[in-house]
Amino acid sequence: MKVPLKLLSFLNEEDNFFIATHINPEGDALGSSLALSMALESIGKQTTLYDKDHVPEFYHYLPGYQKFTHAASLHTTFNLPLILLDCNTLDRAGLEGLNFRYSAVIDHHKTESDFGDIRWVEPEAAATGVMIFYLIKELGIKITREIAINLYSAIAIDTGTFRYSSTTAEVLRVAAELIETGANPAYISQSLYETWSEERFTLLIMALNTLEIRDRVAITFVTREMFKKTGTGPEDTENFSSLPRMMKDIKISAFFREIDDNHWKVSLRSRGDINVARIATLFEGGGHKNAAGYKIKGSLEYVKESLLKTISE
Amino acid sequence: MKVPLKLLSFLNEEDNFFIATHINPEGDALGSSLALSMALESIGKQTTLYDKDHVPEFYHYLPGYQKFTHAASLHTTFNLPLILLDCNTLDRAGLEGLNFRYSAVIDHHKTESDFGDIRWVEPEAAATGVMIFYLIKELGIKITREIAINLYSAIAIDTGTFRYSSTTAEVLRVAAELIETGANPAYISQSLYETWSEERFTLLIMALNTLEIRDRVAITFVTREMFKKTGTGPEDTENFSSLPRMMKDIKISAFFREIDDNHWKVSLRSRGDINVARIATLFEGGGHKNAAGYKIKGSLEYVKESLLKTISE
């Protein structure tokens, strides 16, 4: 991976940066941004870290997460150069209309946009965190323990702790170096995966008890009644849809979450070549090939049947 | 990690080995044994691979798994040297009374036994697979794609794909080298975690429905009746004990599996500094700090209470 010289000069020459990442930030967005901010500050630069949304509570173990600001006066002309991390349009960062002097994009998402005076986009990179690792090294900045924890977390979340196809020998060697500079793999994995509340776990068991398998589609659901009984909320159902995918004969896992009376949010997960984004689009939703979703009105029976019918067609 | 010279000479000088691993084999036992067998055969040696129990179906993706034989004529004197892998007593391999000429133990489990003419025991190693990796390299044998898949699987399962505290920079570098010699991380992870049968998933839900939390200990169990109802077996419960550890307030997850009337196999899982090996030892079992187990006779109520009492002391 080759860091563009233009990007290195830009970071060396400027003294004050506005670093922004995408809405609904996850580990790669947060960890990469924090690591870059810390690295630049360690050589005397100033940075403002921005995310439109708040940092989810289970990411509060990331060193420096409090550095994020969530308010931007978009229409005030300010004279800072902008760095967009883990995204590549102002829209994705919730910054439409922002005034800025100059811009750099650092991202591993494929894009059709050409936003950015400097663009460093590496769709082959497992995580933006891997790119920031090389960038920091090219700048000759020491990777501290805090930077290492942020970068390791970024890489861990985007590779499913080294389970997804983006995992390469290079990724493992970068992770090894981050362990040597202070990242603790067990602590980070525990922070990412083992901080469920008892209530959330109870809700998961309730959801699993609704499992129904038809034509290789696994269907589970959660009702508002279940949220009430367990004292949980919609954010507690994150990843519930992935679990039934453990079964080898399942082609699609569909998870229904009750939003309101006869109103459902449907999450679809698949494996390999089965494209659930196409199915979601037919219901006016969207997403990626193996993870997509939509909203639909109707009784649980009706919404289940309409999905099964669409899949079978 | 230093491979004993005596072990290297032994492997170089002998021509025919009986390689055995522990009963109820998991990924590290199977992968390490297969890798060592393949490596020795690639330089013209003969090996017999033995496991008392059958290879669980979801490990059938391991190259060469069919090499395992499950019958040993224990009391026939045979003239083969024995290699015990991932265990360190004849008992643990289900080979009490075996006649053999000479023996070597290669294991990463701490032990008080002194069995073995040659003993290479490294309690700090993340997996026996890591030891076999170094051993094969010291022997100057090429790591083939098939060996790489077996060793990567061994290491992946024993580190929870690089999530447990045994994960070090060194482990990741070994894994990186195995990727370069042919192991595919995504394929192996899917084979390990996403090939459950519907019956096994049903058994998991049944087990989760038994969840009881007392004094921050999560207790779940599976009875022979549940195996019968779902058409599953003991091997299908692998990792059941880990799941309740997702809850942040749980200090120990204890999973009870009914072996026979009033006879239980107990698997303990913990996090961080909580040492379940010490608890297992009090019940004449063993294991590692965060993963240990024992067998106990008595009613379910009795075995639960005796564990809770021991933990609270």
Q: What is the pLDDT of residues A78-89, one digit of tens each?
A: 678 999 999 999
Contact yes or no for A186 and B194 at CB 8 A: no
Please tell me the predicted confidence (pLDDT) of residue A235: 81
Q: Which residue has the tokens 């909203």?
A: A295
Structure tokens at B79: 């003239």
Please tell me the predicted confidence (pLDDT) of residue B75: 56
Amino acid at A7: L
Q: What is the mean pLDDT of residues A276-291?
A: 88
Residues 6+ apart with CB under 8 A from A172: A162, B172, B173, B175, B176, B179
Closest residue on chain B to A246 (Cα) = B194
Q: Could you give phi then psi for residue B71, rounded to 5 degrees? A: -120, 130
Q: What is the average pLDDT value for chain A, to the nearest integer?
A: 94
Please tell me the predicted confidence (pLDDT) of residue A72: 72
Q: Does B176 touch chain A (CB under 8 A)?
A: yes
Please tell me the predicted confidence (pLDDT) of residue B74: 63
Best mutation site among B201, B208, B217, B219 for testing chain A: the one with the most A CBs within 10 Å? B201
Q: Note the pLDDT tens digit of each residue in A40-64.
A: 999 999 999 999 999 988 899 999 9
Please tell me the predicted confidence (pLDDT) of residue A203: 98
Contact residues, chain B, for A248 at CB < 8 Å? 194-197
pLDDT higher than 70, residue A74: no
Please tell me the predicted confidence (pLDDT) of residue A272: 78
Which strands, in side-by-side order, build the sheet including A68-69? A68-69, A46-50, A16-21, A82-85, A103-107, A118-121
Q: Is the pTM of this model over 0.95?
A: no
Please tell me the predicted confidence (pLDDT) of residue A204: 98
Residues in chain B with pLDDT values less than 50? none
β-bridge pairing A263-270 and A252-260: antiparallel
Closest chain A C-alpha to B277 CA, distance in angstroms: 18
Q: Which member of B169, B189, B197 has the closest CB to residue A248?
A: B197
Contact yes or no for A246 and B205 at CB 8 A: no
CA A68/CA A49 separation, integer angstroms: 5
Assign domain B198-312 to a CATH class: alpha beta
Reduced DSSP (H G I as helix, E B as strand, rest coil) percent helix, strand, coil of chain A, to 5: 40, 20, 40
CATH number of B5-193: 3.90.1640.10
* Helix (H) / strand (E) containing B103: strand B103-107
CA A170/CA A162 separation, integer angstroms: 11
Amino acid at B92: R
Which strands, in side-by-side order, build the sheet including B217-222? B212-214, B217-222, B252-260, B263-270, B291-297, B286-287
Q: Can you point out the beta strands (E) in A38-158?
A: 46-50, 68-69, 82-85, 103-107, 118-121
pLDDT higher than 60, residue A136: yes
Please tell me the predicted confidence (pLDDT) of residue A61: 97
Lowest mean pLDDT segment, chosen from A8-17, A298-307, B92-101: B92-101
What residue spans define the domains of chain B?
Answer: 5-193, 198-312
H helices within A84-196, ranges in order? Answer: 128-138, 145-158, 169-180, 185-193
Q: Does A175 touch chain B (CB under 8 A)?
A: yes
pLDDT higher than 60, residue A77: no
Please tell me the predicted confidence (pLDDT) of residue A56: 87
Please tell me the predicted confidence (pLDDT) of residue B73: 65
Contact yes or no for A205 and B211 at CB 8 A: yes
pLDDT higher than 70, residue A17: yes
User: Residue A167, class by beta-carbon neighbours within 10 Å (0-12 exposed, 13-18 middle, 19+ buried)?
Assistant: buried
Contact yes or no for A194 and B168 at CB 8 A: no
Best mutation site among B190, B197, B213 for testing chain A: the one with the most A CBs within 10 Å? B190
What b/e readout covers B232-254, taking b as 16+ CB neighbours within 10 angstroms? bbbbbbbbbbbbbbbbbebbbbb
Please tell me the predicted confidence (pLDDT) of residue B76: 59
Contact of B116 with B103, CB cutoff 8 Å: yes
CA A37/CA A60 separation, integer angstroms: 17
